[in-house]
């Protein structure tokens, strides 16, 4: 009986398996009711994107300063203009562009001009250009204007341009001792209007005794003034710094010796050039070797005995005065050479060279230049 019961139990278990398991196996084998398979991760987890990663894929911001040009207003105010092009692939916001402008001087200094931010927020698209113009308070001994371009604090470009020359000379000058007046005519040999100061060369001249004139581009100007002419030797034209602080703050453009009894505004006739028997034609300063060469001319038709001397007006010490007694052949020139290689010549030092007639030791001409 027990055997029969165990056999029936096995048959019931087998029947249960056939009823509940085989249909599932059949359906699964048929493939029409497959349960979804668990999702398998085929790729590693995505790495969190950092700021550095974003920068790798960001469009590069680039811009170039294409050109720097100069001009002046009729008042003599110097201006510079620039052209900037967006050479990158990203749009630039003009409010984030900044310019830093400096000027390099002949004495090795670099002085700030200004730092400006563009006021407009217009976009500068790739390939587009923008043009601007700003005032430049020029130093007399400026050699370069330097423009640096920044975008959001990062410098994108820098460009320099040589400062335009300043060339104004005195073509005519004269005294009127009866009226204690003097006058001079000026010629501007450049394409920019230049504001200059014209003053007397005199041992008694006082500060501020100057006439300010603007000489138009490639044009002329004249000036007249009142002064005590007893000690007047000549007229000098200078260009002063538009921005105070640089030393000496001006550069001498030309000197002109004066003689009395002439009509103001009329040039000295060639037949009267012998009234100034000798002149300092030029002084050249070689900053690399600290040497200078002065050329003195005999304006007469006879040999001329003279005494020539040169010395620094500032920062001079014993041994820096150079002098020589010469007899200059008729209509010819001689040179005086000074060597300051063993001396300190700070910025702002000026050199004076004068000519004395012998044996009277009366001074007939002088010239002053900055040793920059």
Per-residue pLDDT tens digits for 15-67: 656 555 555 554 444 555 545 545 444 455 555 656 555 555 567 889 999 99
% of the chain beyond a pLDDT of 90: 37
pLDDT band at 288 (very low <50, low <70, confident <90, very high): confident
Same domain, residue pair 127 and 209:
no
pLDDT higher than threshold 90 for residue 135 = yes
On whether residue 28 sits in a domain, the answer given is: no
Same domain, residue pair 243 and 157:
no
Query: So what's the pLDDT on residue 154?
Result: 94
Which CATH number characterizes residue 81's domain? 2.60.40.10
More confidently predicted of 232 and 229: 232
Query: How far apart are alpha carbons 24 and 22 in whole angstroms?
Result: 5
The three-state DSSP-derived secondary structure of the chain is CHHHHHHHHHHHHHHHHHHHCHHHHHHHHHCCCCCCCCCCCCCCCCCCCCHHHHHHHCCCCCEEEEEEEEEECCCCCEEEEEEEEECCCCCEEHHHEEEEEEEEECCCCEEEEEEEECCCCCEECCCCEEEEEEEECCCCCEEEEEEEEEECCEEEEEEEEECCCCCEEEEEEEEECCCCEEEEEEEECCCCCEEEEEEEEECCCCCCCEEEEEECCCCEEEEEEECCHHHEEEEEEEEECCCECECCCEEEEEEEECCCCCCCCCCCCHHHHHHCCEEEEEEEEECCCCEEEEEEEECCCCCEEEEEEEEECCCCCCCCCEEEEEEECCCCEEEEEEECCCCCCCCCCEEEEEEEECCCCEEEEEEEEECC
What is the per-residue pLDDT across 84-128, written as a single tens digit (0 to 9) for each? 999 999 999 989 999 999 999 888 889 999 999 877 778 999 999
Same domain, residue pair 131 and 107:
yes
On whether residue 44 sits in a domain, the answer given is: no
Which CATH number characterizes residue 248's domain? 2.60.40
Same domain, residue pair 98 and 121:
yes
Same domain, residue pair 102 and 170:
no
Mean pLDDT over residues 6-10, rounded? 60
Same domain, residue pair 199 and 236:
yes
Q: Among 103, 128, 162, where does a domain finish? A: 162
Q: For the chain, give the mean pLDDT.
A: 80
Same domain, residue pair 116 and 180:
no
On whether residue 21 sits in a domain, the answer given is: no
Tell me the pTM: 0.56
On whether residue 48 sits in a domain, the answer given is: no
Same domain, residue pair 231 and 314:
no
Q: Among 135, 162, 189, where does a domain finish? A: 162
Same domain, residue pair 339 and 362:
yes
On whether residue 24 sits in a domain, the answer given is: no
Mean pLDDT over residues 319-347, rounded? 89
Its sign, for the CA torsion 338, 341, 344, 348, is positive
Domain that holds residue 248: 166-268
Same domain, residue pair 318 and 370:
yes
Query: How far apart are alpha carbons 58 and 63 in whole angstroms?
Result: 16
Query: So what's the pLDDT on residue 287?
Result: 86
On whether residue 204 sits in a domain, the answer given is: yes
On whether residue 310 sits in a domain, the answer given is: yes
Let me know if 26 is exposed, middle or buried by CB neighbors in 10 A (0-12, 13-18, 19+).
exposed
Q: Among 268, 287, 314, where does a domain finish? A: 268
Same domain, residue pair 75 and 148:
yes
On whether residue 257 sits in a domain, the answer given is: yes
Q: In total, how many domains does the chain have?
A: 3
């Amino acid at each position: 009986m027990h055997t029969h019961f165990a056999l029936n139990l096995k048959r019931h278990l087998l029947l249960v398996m056939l009823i509940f398991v085989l249909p599932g196996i059949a359906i699964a084998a048929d493939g029409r009711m497959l349960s979804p398979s668990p999702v398998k991760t085929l790729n590693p987890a995505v790495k969190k994107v950092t700021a550095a990663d974003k920068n790798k894929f960001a469009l590069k911001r680039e811009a170039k300063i294409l050109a720097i040009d100069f001009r002046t207003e009729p008042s003599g105010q110097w201006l510079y203009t620039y052209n900037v092009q967006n050479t990158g692939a990203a749009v630039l916001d003009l409010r984030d562009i900044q310019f830093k402008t400096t000027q390099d001087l002949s004495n090795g200094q670099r002085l700030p001009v200004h730092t400006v931010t563009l006021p407009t927020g217009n976009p500068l698209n790739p390939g587009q250009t923008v043009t601007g113009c700003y005032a430049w308070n020029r130093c007399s001994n400026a050699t370069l204007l330097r423009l640096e371009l920044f975008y959001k604090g990062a410098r994108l470009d820098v460009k320099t341009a040589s400062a335009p020359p300043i060339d104004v000379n005195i073509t005519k000058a004269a005294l009127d001792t009866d009226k204690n007046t003097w006058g001079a005519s000026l010629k501007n040999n450049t394409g920019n209007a230049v504001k200059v100061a014209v003053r007397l060369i005199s041992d008694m001249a006082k500060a501020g005794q100057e006439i300010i004139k603007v000489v138009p581009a490639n044009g002329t100007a004249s000036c007249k003034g009142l002064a005590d002419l007893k000690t007047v030797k000549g007229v000098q034209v200078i260009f002063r710094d538009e921005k105070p602080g640089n030393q000496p703050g001006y550069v001498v453009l030309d000197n002109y010796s004066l003689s009395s009894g002439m009509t103001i505004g009329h040039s000295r006739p060639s037949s009267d050039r012998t009234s100034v028997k000798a002149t300092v034609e030029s002084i050249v300063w070689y900053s690399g070797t600290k040497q200078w060469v002065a050329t003195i001319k005999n304006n007469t038709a006879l040999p001329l005995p003279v005494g020539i001397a040169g010395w620094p007006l500032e920062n001079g010490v014993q041994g820096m005065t150079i002098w020589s007694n010469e007899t200059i052949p008729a209509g010819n020139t001689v040179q005086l050479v000074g060597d300051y290689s063993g001396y300190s010549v700070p910025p702002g030092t000026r050199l004076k060279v004068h000519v004395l007639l012998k044996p009277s030791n009366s001074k007939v001409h002088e010239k002053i230049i900055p040793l920059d």
